[in-house]
Each structure stands twice: as C-alpha cells, then as structure tokens.
Amino acid sequence: MRGRTSHYAETLLVLGGLDVAQPPDMGAVIQGLAQQFTSVATLLLTSINSVVIDVSRLAYISVLLIGLLLYFTHVNKRYGKDLITGGVFLAILSEFVFPWLNRL
C-alpha cells in the first residue's frame, strides 16, 4: 500500500511541475458565445429595420403619387381617394408607429 501512495505522490510532483493548460471554464465559454450571438442578432435586426423603413417609404410615396394622379385626373376618383387614404395611413405607420415600437 505504501508503494502506491509514494507512486501517486511522485506522479503529482511531476505533473505539478509541468505547465499544463487548464481546461476552459464552460461558463465563460457559454457567456462569450451568448455575447457574440446577441451582437450578431442586434446587427441583423438593425439591418432588417433599416431595409423595412426604406421599403415602406418607397411604398407609401408610390401609393400617394398614384392616388393623387388618379384622383386629380378624374380617371378613377374613388380609387384615387382610397389610395391617398392608404398612403397616408402607411406613412403614419412607417414614420411614427414603427420607430416607436422599435424603441420598446
């Protein structure tokens, strides 16, 4: 029994003198991965938000112009009025409501 104990003690002394890299802390690794994920997700959502705002601006400007053209040329006055109403509603949503929701 004494031989085994001295063998283990010698092994510990030899291993203690070596510069062995410690295994990584799993909590720190998971936290680092979570931080990387949140930074990439934030960047992606910011990009998507800017694209949606640009597309909605193009949409409501187009709808308003077509509505004004139809209304004032008397080609289809009712449809032109509906397009103007929809364009104004879309403009209010995209310029005021969506940015407000983004801040929440």
Lowest model confidence (mean pLDDT) among 5-9, 62-66, 70-74: 5-9
Interval 11-43: pLDDT, tens: 665 555 556 667 778 888 899 999 999 999 999
Q: Please state the pTM of the whole predicted model.
A: 0.62
pLDDT score recorded for residue 75: 92
Lowest model confidence (mean pLDDT) among 1-5, 33-37, 45-49, 71-75: 1-5
Q: What Å distances lie between residue 53 and 16, 18, 40, 94, 98, CA to CA?
A: 61, 59, 20, 7, 8
